[in-house]
Amino acid sequence: MTFPTRFSYSASWLLAASLLLGSCSKDEGPVTPTPTPTPPTPTPVAPSQVAVWLTTPDKAALFYNQPTGLSFGAAANSNPTIAVDTTQTFQTMDGFGYTLTGGSAYVLSQMTAANRAALLKELFATDENNIGVSYLRVSIGASDLNASPYTYDDSASPDPTLASFSLAPDQAYLIPVLKEIVAINPSIKVLGSPWTAPVWMKQNANPSNPFVSGSLRPEYYDAYARYFVKYLQGMQALGITLDAVTLQNEPLNPYNNPSMVMTGAEQASFIKNNVGPAFKAAGLSTKIIAYDHNPDADGLAFVRTVLSDAGASAFLDGSAFHLYAGQMSALSQVHDAYPTKNVYFTEQWTQAPGNFASDLTWHANNLVVAAPRNWSRNVLEWNLANDATYGPHTPGGCTECLGALTISGNTVTRNSAYYTIGHAAKFVRPGSVRVATNTPDGLPNVAYKTPAGKRVLMVVNTGSTLRNFNIQYKGKLASASLYGGAVATYVW
């Protein structure tokens, strides 16, 4: 299917159309009729075997299902070849999506109910006309893309029994929008991440704003573990089941508002002595994922500290990463060192105001292709939506984060992250398994076999000129072409 509201006809198509129309003049005078010739019998054309979905950096095609796909059977040639080998399998995918921040929920809530319903269906429904986002991250308490910082227990004095705990701050916008999403796609996976513990649990916080920096006081480790349990149980009571949690967003970043610092040793202790036992006692199956920050040298040391601690590792599903420092290849290093633990990619921003062409190519290559090729089970962009001024955000929060959507009232602008995630989310359904491909120079790619028996190949042309290449599957070739900077998904 095409996505007509988001497709612009190519310049070549428009040129051909204009030449055709220009050949017909209104002022040529009477014309002697000629007999209409009998058209020749058309030669039957076999239907294409490979569907092609295309996005180009000049926006001539935006997630466009090309009417003429590809077919296997091309003759041997000298073009580079991407060989898809479904006999070599790697990780199973959980999904692709975004962070639904409090700010995202707020701008969505300002739409009319009908317009919001249509947009959420487009994003989260899994039928032919929608992209089927399959994974969301939410903040436990406020993130920096909320209008102001808060937690679920902002008592003026220590409250170790959590008597003041309440999800009320999220009841205005986040929870209602999330419930609408779950109604559309009940199987969507949701990951929760806190930006800070309640300020009364912290030591050495910023004296002018205790939501910023500081660390968790050891005497409140048990209370904070129970805080996670109350959050998960409270959300479940509202019909929202979280698949996983990380225990601290960016634990090595003390500058965000809100934020909290946590070392690898502290996190290992917190998991093995408090969070893991608390989840077990409460009968929670929610996955616990370590870290949630960059794969640089400090981050890899953090992950090693946590995953190599036998007591913590027993409760851990894996570790999560961002890409503001370090290299995506480090995720493979983590996988190779701890092959029984999963790897996740949970955040990457697009800097406002954005450059569609370069953002499309960079994010498709470095995130949506590279993260799965380095064992990640998911890819999440930061963030789903904000307004035209890149808000809401906390004082000191991100002022230049461009959402996948810009929402002004009922007007929606779809930015580069909408398309990069869409190219994977629509076709690589949860349960898809990554399979082997080679990577010809300048044509990074990743392939999968899906639960429905389809093969999916996503290719990025990182060069500036048109590239011709082959797709090889079971010894047969299909000839393909891809514009410089363009992204294509091939499905057969």
Rounded Cα–Cα distance for residues 161 and 320 (Å): 30
If you count them, how many residues does the chain have?
492
Containing 344, the helix (H) or strand (E) segment is strand 342-347
DSSP β-bridge partners for residue 192: 138, 245
**Residues with Cβ within 8 Å of residue 348, at least 6 apart in sequence:** 322, 323, 324, 363, 367, 380, 381, 382
**150-158: long-range contacts, CB 8 A cutoff, minimum separation 24:** 151/194, 151/196, 151/197, 151/198, 151/199, 151/258, 152/198, 152/227, 152/230, 152/231, 153/198, 153/200, 153/227, 154/198, 154/199, 155/198, 155/200, 157/200, 158/200, 158/201, 158/220
Which listed residue (122, 180, 266, 347) is catalytic?
347
Give how far the C-alpha of residue 352 lies from the chain's centroid of Cα atoms, to the nearest Å.
18
Name residue, tokens 């990025």.
460
Task: Give me the sheet containing 411-414, strands edge to edge.
Answer: 385-386, 405-408, 411-414
Catalytic residue list contains 250: yes
Q: What share of the chain is helix, strand, coil (3-state, %, to 5)?
A: 30, 25, 45
Which amino acid belongs to residue 87? T
Rounded Cα–Cα distance for residues 145 and 116 (Å): 20
Rounded Cα–Cα distance for residues 311 and 296 (Å): 25
Residue 245 and residue 228 in contact, taking contact as beta carbons nearer than 8 Å? yes
Rounded Cα–Cα distance for residues 396 and 393 (Å): 8
Question: How many of the other CB atoms lie within 10 Å of CB of 437?
Answer: 24
Residue among 262, 265, 255, 245 at smallest CA distance from 320: 245
Which listed residue (122, 250, 266, 381) is catalytic?
250
Residue among 424, 467, 311, 372 at smallest CA distance from 63: 424
Containing 435, the helix (H) or strand (E) segment is strand 433-437
Residue 214 and residue 203 in contact, taking contact as beta carbons nearer than 8 Å? yes
Integer-rounded Cα radius of gyration of the chain: 25
Name residue, tokens 């090729």.
373
Active site residues: 250, 347
